Amino acid sequence: MLDKIHIKTYNIGYKNYKVVYITYKREIMLEDLFGSKNRERVLQYILANKQGYAREIANFYTSSIDPIQKQLERLELGGVLVSHTVGKTRVFMFNPRYAFLDELTALLLKARSFYPQEEQERLTKQRKRPRRTGKPL
């Protein structure tokens, strides 16, 4: 997403040079394409963790659970995600039969490469269980 365009003029000898600097916003979101910021968050989380449930995703992004649940349901109705229950919890994952799964995964990975470094690390380095006592780092 375009942030600003800067034009600077440099005088070198007898010639004037105009240099155009284009800056982009650091975080490129697919909100315009997906229609919702939370939909992109859900997809990025499930891509990074292979599966997830509404409360877990909402806690990860420190957002409300209601919009996350709505996006999970919409994605499941669209055939992008499938779910199964573990106890009382409904766990969602990508539908392996979804026709555009490879393309969607590639798009999400490309978008993630433009996220700030901290956000990329948060998505990729998340432990599900504690480290064994005495295990070296």
Which CATH number does the domain housing residue 54 bear? Answer: 1.10.10.10
Please indicate, yes or no, if residue 76 is contained in any of the structural domains: yes
The per-residue pLDDT for 10 is 66
Q: Is the pLDDT of residue 131 over 90?
A: no
Q: What separation in angstroms does the CA of 61 have from each of 4, 64, 66, 112, 115?
A: 28, 9, 13, 15, 14
> What is the pTM assigned to this prediction?
0.72
> What confidence tens digit (pLDDT) does each residue in 56-114 have?
999 999 999 999 999 999 999 999 999 999 999 999 999 999 999 999 999 999 888 88
Nearest CA to 43 among 89, 112, 90, 97?
Answer: 112
pLDDT band at 32 (very low <50, low <70, confident <90, very high): confident
Nearest CA to 57 among 87, 93, 27?
Answer: 93
> What confidence tens digit (pLDDT) does each residue in 15-29 have?
666 666 555 554 556
Please indicate, yes or no, if residue 45 is contained in any of the structural domains: yes
Total domains present in the chain: 1
Please indicate, yes or no, if residue 5 is contained in any of the structural domains: no
Please indicate, yes or no, if residue 62 is contained in any of the structural domains: yes
The per-residue pLDDT for 26 is 47
Please indicate, yes or no, if residue 133 is contained in any of the structural domains: no
Identify the weakest region by mean pLDDT among 39-43, 101-105, 122-126.
122-126
Q: For residue 107, what are the domain limits? A: 31-124
Nearest CA to 80 among 49, 110, 42?
Answer: 42
Please indicate, yes or no, if residue 65 is contained in any of the structural domains: yes
Please indicate, yes or no, if residue 10 is contained in any of the structural domains: no
Please indicate, yes or no, if residue 64 is contained in any of the structural domains: yes
